[in-house]
Structures are given as C-alpha cells and as structure tokens.
C-alpha cells in the first residue's frame, strides 16, 4: 500500500427470523465497516434486531482498533435496548 492509501469496505447482511409456521417475527441486520491503512485498521460492527413491525428491539455497536501488525489495541462496545 502506498504511504497515504486508505481503504474502506462495508458488508451488510440481513437475516429474517421466522416462527415454526414460516411467519417472519423479526429481522437481524449485521453491518460491518472496515477502514484500513498502513498504520492499522478500524472495524465497526453494528447489529440491529427488529421485531415483525419494524421496531428496533436491540442494537449492539462494537469498534475494534488494530495496529499495523494486526494486533487488537482497543475495543469499545455498547448495547442499546429499546423499549
């Protein structure tokens, strides 16, 4: 990588939660964003859980920071529960 190259990537996965009859009872959205440079990487993952009506039930957000050698140097996370 050139000295000031920064790469950004994002992946989003959506999974439907169904009951025994095949009815959708909710969804899980897993969103991962990665920013990488020669100095290291930052990975942010947000997981949202929605009920069948589309209301946010739970959200988890985790940020990991890695150095240039791929070692985890910092991690922060938060779980939000909506009522």
Q: What are the domain boundaries of the chain?
A: 6-81
Percent of the chain with pLDDT over 70: 93
20-43 pLDDT, tens digit per residue, is 999 999 999 999 999 999 999 999
Percent of the chain with pLDDT over 90: 86
pLDDT-based confidence at 1, cuts 50/70/90? very low
43-80 pLDDT, tens digit per residue, is 999 999 999 999 999 999 999 999 999 999 999 998 88
> Which pTM does this prediction carry?
0.81
Q: Is 41 exposed, middle or buried (0-12, 13-18, 19+ CB in 10 A)?
A: middle
Q: Is 65 exposed, middle or buried (0-12, 13-18, 19+ CB in 10 A)?
A: middle
């Amino acid at each position: 990588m050139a000295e000031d190259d920064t790469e950004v990537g994002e992946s989003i996965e959506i999974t439907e939660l169904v009951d025994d009859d095949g009815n959708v009872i909710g969804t899980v959205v897993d969103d991962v964003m990665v920013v990488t440079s020669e100095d290291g990487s930052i990975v942010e993952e947000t997981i949202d859980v929605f009920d069948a009506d589309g209301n946010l039930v739970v959200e988890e957000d985790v940020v990991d920071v890695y150095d240039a050698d791929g070692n985890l140097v910092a991690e922060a996370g938060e779980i939000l529960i909506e009522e």
